[in-house]
Amino acid sequence: MIRRVLIPFILLFLTLLIGVAISQEPEKVSDKSSAELVFGYDAKLVREIGGSFNSIKIALDSFAQKINSRFALKWHKNTSEMIDALDEDKITCASIMALSYLFSEKKNIKPLVAAIASYSEDTTVRYVLVVRKDSGINTLEKLEGKIYAICKADEVGGLYVSTELAKNKLKSIHNFFDKTQLYDSQEEAFYSVYFKKSSATLISDDTLKMMMELNPAIKDQIHIICTSEKYIVGGLFVNVNINNDLEKGLIETSVNLHNTVSGRQTLKLVRMKKLQKMTDADFDGIRALLKEYKELTNTDYKEIYEKMQ
């Protein structure tokens, strides 16, 4: 079972909150009684980030004090329960991956901000499927029966590869590869290919470019099988009934965080360039990919996605 990893987006929110605490003063919320900042968590992440929860709690409390708001932290046994709570206005905000948002079909949730990675130009990801040049693999078809390495968090990446396989009339992703190896990061998955432990991996083109800059030898040893369109993979979401001043404070603080020295230092710690406002329209690219997959396979990808959770 592929576990979803929301750590990058928890770090996004943690970055925002710490940045507020050490840099700038957001506007005060006019009505303290109507503005409670409640951040929802998927309890499954406890194993992943351990002690970071205490730091997040401190940061949330600091942010709430600065905007004259109350603070609360609520735990949920899984992402589905957390999204239900957000939809029902039991919590104010939560970090959610793109497919979880799209498949939830909730009406009372809206996107707020997303992160731009330190090596990227925007909030989207363009995937490339790569192999070693000396592997003898130069087409998608030749990857059948090989070992595939993938970052655990790449839900959209899994959808992209599944669609490419269907487009080329190949087996489903679970039957096409001999084995799928899961890694905590794209870099780890990539190096499993580089050092010949796996045959192929999916990596963002920005991450690959960054790795090539650090190690120029990579460029001459890697072959790209296919390249995706650009997709946003997740971010921070809020309930549509969020207090207006609270929402304004969150947005203004997040999008301006990179304009202060201390803010840039905080962003750098979690390899982010800046934070940017996002809207529902930013997910249209993934909607188009889901539609294409369904047209090619006569299967709703949501059914596959739910089995992987």
Q: How far apart are CA 248 and CA 86, in angstroms?
A: 18
CB atoms within 10 A of CB 291: 12
List pLDDT tens digits, range 234-271.
888 999 998 888 888 778 877 887 887 877 776 776 67
Could you give the strand order of the β-sheet that contains 272-277, starting from the edge strand earlier in sequence?
A: 70-76, 36-42, 93-97, 234-239, 109-117, 272-277
What's residue 246's pLDDT? Answer: 80
Strand partners, 230: 126
What's residue 2's pLDDT? Answer: 33
Structural domains for the chain: 7-120+233-281 (3.40.190.10), 124-231+287-298 (3.40.190.10)
What's residue 308's pLDDT? Answer: 72
Q: Are 26 and 176 in contact (CB under 8 A)?
A: no
Q: How does DSSP classify residue 122?
A: S
List pLDDT tens digits, range 266-303.
677 667 788 899 999 999 999 999 999 999 999 999 98
**Element at 258 (helix H, strand E):** none
What's residue 111's pLDDT? Answer: 94
Query: C-alpha angle 105/75/277, rounded to 5°?
Result: 50
Strand, helix or coil for residue 246 = helix
Strand partners, 180: 148
CB atoms within 10 A of CB 166: 20
> What residues contact 86, with CB distance under 8 A and at least 6 apart?
40, 92, 93, 94, 96, 106, 108, 109, 237, 238, 239
What's residue 29's pLDDT? Answer: 37
* Spacing of C-alpha 148 from chain mean position: 21
Q: How far apart are CA 124 and CA 235, in angstroms?
A: 11
Low-confidence ranges of the chain (pLDDT < 70): 1-37, 41-71, 266, 269-270, 309
Strand 70-76, strand 36-42: pairing = parallel
